[in-house]
Amino acid sequence: MPQNQNTSMKNYDAVVAGGGVIGASIALELAETGMKVGLYDAREPGREASWASAGIISPAPENAGMIPFVPMSLASVALYPDFIRKVEDLSGMDVGYRKDGALDVVLDGDTEEELSKIIALQRGVGIKAEAVSAEEAVRMEPGLSEEIGAAIFRPDEASLDNRVFTDAVLKAAEREGVEIFAWNGAKAIWNEGGRCRGLLLEQGQAEAKWTVIAAGCFSARIGGVAPYAPVFPAKGQMIALRCESAEIERILWLEHTYLVPRNDGRIIAGSTIERVGFDHEVTAGGMKKILSEALRLVPGLERARMEEAWAGLRPDSPDHLPIIGPTDLEGLLIATGHFRSGILLTPVTARLIREWVCTGTVSVDWERVSPMRFLEARRGQWA
């Protein structure tokens, strides 16, 4: 359980700001190396984007601009089975991992040529994808609308229950000795003598050789962080449905809308992308958008019970890519900006931070996600 009591000064090898899935997995990975790790959250850990997410693990690029980023996504997918085994063993929790693949549905308007272009693009970057006729797709998922034109089947796509997963990573981190503090967020990085000495907290200070900022879309609000991580929220609304007469086995996609089956029988439907600041409200417009697309995909969901609706804030960045790695301030590392892919990228982010801290070099091509890219862009503007 997170601790609430605080002393004015704590000493660690590494201190992490943010107890979402990213901060928790980094804390776990660092603690496993024998380091003394402290994790501080401004609220109850694990109740922001990591709680709100759909939990899809999909390395498929959404557009051509995301192609250079696919190797990092695939590296994370490769790390996932071992990462889950470790987290489940340490926490004693089942994170609801399922790898039944995804059907990406296209409607009548999409030509065969467009479909084969998407498949070629996905195969070209190492993702298994195959064309499926409308009849075949409906055979695979009998709940699907017969109005669909065709589909792409990606057999390796997976998902997990992100709420359980985040709690399990936090519990696993605690088992490895991480000290977790709720309701004591970071006010600023502790910048002294040309290096980062730790965190200045709402209550007290935490001193450490390594400081990792992983506070999701709130990271830029921590004093001294914005130049490296100019992140902002991108709100997403979600609905949990239950419908005994319209069950699905696989993840179903229709452009940006998706349906994700859970082991407990719920179907998670999402989502919207809204730039409306730090706003967690569920709106009629958001629900209408998600439900109308969901019913186009699986008409039988008309009879579904709406069990829950919620909204979460994705940590977005100016180029929509994550921000992971060291900065020019000694001792300070950043791990945020994961936007729509934070669950997908959890294992590789934790691995990258551990590699930076322990060896100073990393096994994955990371320069595109360096926290220094925003500083350098600004310096370029002024030059």
Ligand X SMILES: Cc1cc2nc3c(=O)[nH]c(=O)nc-3n(C[C@H](O)[C@H](O)[C@H](O)COP(=O)(O)OP(=O)(O)OC[C@H]3O[C@@H](n4cnc5c(N)ncnc54)[C@H](O)[C@@H]3O)c2cc1C
Give the nearest distance from C-beta 185 to ligand X in angstroms: 3
DSSP letters spanning 226-261: TTT---EEEEEEEEEEE-TTS--SSEEEETTEEEEE
> What are the b/e assignments for 314-330, b being 16+ CB within 10 Å?
bbbbeebbbbbbbbebe
Smaller CB distance to ligand X: residue 60 or 362? 60
Give the nearest distance from C-beta 67 to ligand X in angstroms: 18
Give the nearest distance from C-beta 47 to ligand X in angstroms: 6
Give the nearest distance from C-beta 381 to ligand X in angstroms: 28
Give the nearest distance from C-beta 224 to ligand X in angstroms: 12
Smaller CB distance to ligand X: residue 331 or 347? 347
Smaller CB distance to ligand X: residue 270 or 326? 270
Give the nearest distance from C-beta 108 to ligand X in angstroms: 27
Smaller CB distance to ligand X: residue 134 or 174? 174
Which pair of structure tokens corresponds to residue 80? 């996932």
Q: What angle do CA 314, 337, 251 make, to 5 degrees?
A: 50
Which pair of structure tokens corresponds to residue 247? 């069950």
Nearest alpha carbon to residue 222 among 16, 81, 11:
16
Q: Which residues does residue 175 pair with via DSSP β-bridges, in sequence order? A: none
Query: Residue 64: exposed, middle, or buried by beta-carbon count in 10 A (0-12, 13-18, 19+)?
Result: exposed
Nearest alpha carbon to residue 94 among 187, 20, 160:
160
Q: Which distant-in-sequence residues (6+ apart) come within 8 Å of 4 by Cβ?
A: 181, 182, 183, 184
Give the nearest distance from C-beta 318 to ligand X in angstroms: 16
Give the nearest distance from C-beta 313 to ligand X in angstroms: 6
Nearest alpha carbon to residue 36 among 160, 215, 173, 227:
173
CB atoms within 10 A of CB 283: 16
H or E element at residue 156: none
Smaller CB distance to ligand X: residue 150 or 261? 261
Smaller CB distance to ligand X: residue 108 or 279? 279
Smaller CB distance to ligand X: residue 256 or 299? 256
Smaller CB distance to ligand X: residue 80 or 115? 80
Smaller CB distance to ligand X: residue 27 or 90? 27
Residues that bind ligand X (CB under 6 A): 17-23, 40-43, 45, 47-50, 52-56, 185-186, 214-216, 218, 222, 236, 238, 270-271, 312-315, 336, 338-344
Whether the upstream peptide bond of residue 271 has omega within 30° of 0, thus cis, is yes
Kindly report the backbone phi and psi dihedral angles of residue 33, in degrees, each rounded to the nearest multiple of 5, phi listed first. Answer: -85, 0
Nearest alpha carbon to residue 60 among 139, 178, 154:
154
Give the nearest distance from C-beta 98 to ligand X in angstroms: 13
